[in-house]
Amino acid sequence: MDIWQLLVLAVLGVVGGILAGVVGVGGGIVFVPTLVYAAGWGIKEAVAASFVIIVFSALSGTIRNARSEDPANWRAAALLASTVAPASLIGVYISSVSPTAVVQVAFAGVLLALAYPTARGSSGPPESRRKIPVTLVFLAGVGIGALSGLVGVGGGVVIVPLLILGLGLSTKRAISTSLAVVLATGLVASLGYAVAGFADLLSLTPLVVGSMVGAWLGVRLREWLPEKAIRIGFATFMVVTALRTLGDAVEMF
C-alpha cells in the first residue's frame, strides 16, 4: 500500500468519522465502499473490517458527546443496545448463507418510510413525540441489529429516528445516544467476525485514526448546527442511503 493510498484512506476515514459525530451513525456507509473500491477488499472482508473501525469512531464520538450540551441518554442506550447488539450476530451468521440483495431492499424501505417523519419532527415536550410503541422499538432493534451485522453498518441511520419517535428524545440527544448503541453493536459484531476468521487489522490503521479524528470534529460541528437543520439533513441522508442501497441491490439481482 503506497503513501497516496494511505492518505486517501485516512481522508475517507475522517469523512466517515464526521458523519458519525454529526448524525450518530457508525460511518460504515463510508467505510465499506472505501475498503472495497479504494483498498480492493472483498465485500465480506470489508463488512467485517467496517465494524472494527466503527468501534473506534463511535468510541471517539461518545467520549466527546459526554462533554457536549446533549450527551447520551444512557438508560435509553442500554435498553436499545440490549437488543441491537446481540442481534448483530444474526447478521454475522447469515452473511455467508443468504443473498444480501433482499435484505438491502427491506433496509432501504425502512429508511424511506422513516425519512419524512424524521424530517418533520415534532414540537412540544418529549412525551408528545412518541409515535412508535416502545415494544415495537425494541422488536425493531432485533431487525436493525441483524441488518447491521449483515451489511457492515452500525444501524444509527435507523436507531436515531426510533429514539426520536419511540422514546421521545430530542434530535441531538438521540444522535448522541445512537452513537453509544452503535459502539456496543460494533463491539459485538466485530468480535463475531473475528471468531469467524475475518481479521486484517494492520491495514485498517489509516481509517481508524481518520475516523477517530473525524468523529471528534463531527460532534463539535453538530453543536453549532440548529436542530431543524440536523433533522432535515439526517432525513436527506436517509433517502440518499436508501437509494444507494437499492442501487446496490439491483446490481446483485
Please tell me the predicted confidence (pLDDT) of residue 180: 93
Q: With bands split at pLDDT 50, 70 and 90, how would you rate the model's confidence at 252?
A: low
Q: Which range has the worst mean pLDDT, 13-17, 156-160, 201-205, 209-213?
A: 201-205
Residue 129 has pLDDT above 60, yes or no: no
Q: Are 234 and 21 in contact (CB under 8 A)?
A: no
Q: With bands split at pLDDT 50, 70 and 90, how would you rate the model's confidence at 94?
A: confident
Residue 70 has pLDDT above 80, yes or no: yes
Q: How many structural domains are present in the chain?
A: 1
Dist CA 151 CA 10 (whole Å): 22
What is the phi-psi region of residue 81: left when phi exceeds 0, alpha when psi lies from -120 to 50, beta otherwise?
alpha
Q: With bands split at pLDDT 50, 70 and 90, how would you rate the model's confidence at 89?
A: very high
Region 213-236 average pLDDT: 82
State the greatest distance between any 2 C-alpha atoms of the chain, in Å, as a whole number: 54
The boundaries of the domain holding residue 29 are: 3-252
Please give the grid coordinates belonging to residue 7. Answer: 492518505
Q: With bands split at pLDDT 50, 70 and 90, how would you rate the model's confidence at 63?
A: very high
Region 3-22 average pLDDT: 83
Which residue's entry shows cell 440490549?
A: 82
Which residue's entry shows cell 449483515?
A: 150
Q: Tell me if the pTM is above 0.75.
A: yes
Q: What is the secondary structure of 51-104 as a DSSP string?
A: HHHHHHHHHHHHHHHTTSSS---HHHHHHHHHHHHHHHHHHHHHTTTS-HHHHH
Please tell me the predicted confidence (pLDDT) of residue 167: 86
Dist CA 147 CA 157 (whole Å): 12
Query: How many Cα atoms sit within 13 Å of 117 on the Cβ side?
Result: 16
Region 3-32 average pLDDT: 81
pLDDT digits (tens, 9 = 90+) for 131-147: 678 788 888 889 889 88
Q: Are 184 and 52 in contact (CB under 8 A)?
A: no
Please tell me the predicted confidence (pLDDT) of residue 99: 73
* pLDDT: which is higher, 237 or 170: 170
| Residues in CB range of 40: below 8 A, 6 or more apart | none
Dist CA 233 CA 212 (whole Å): 22
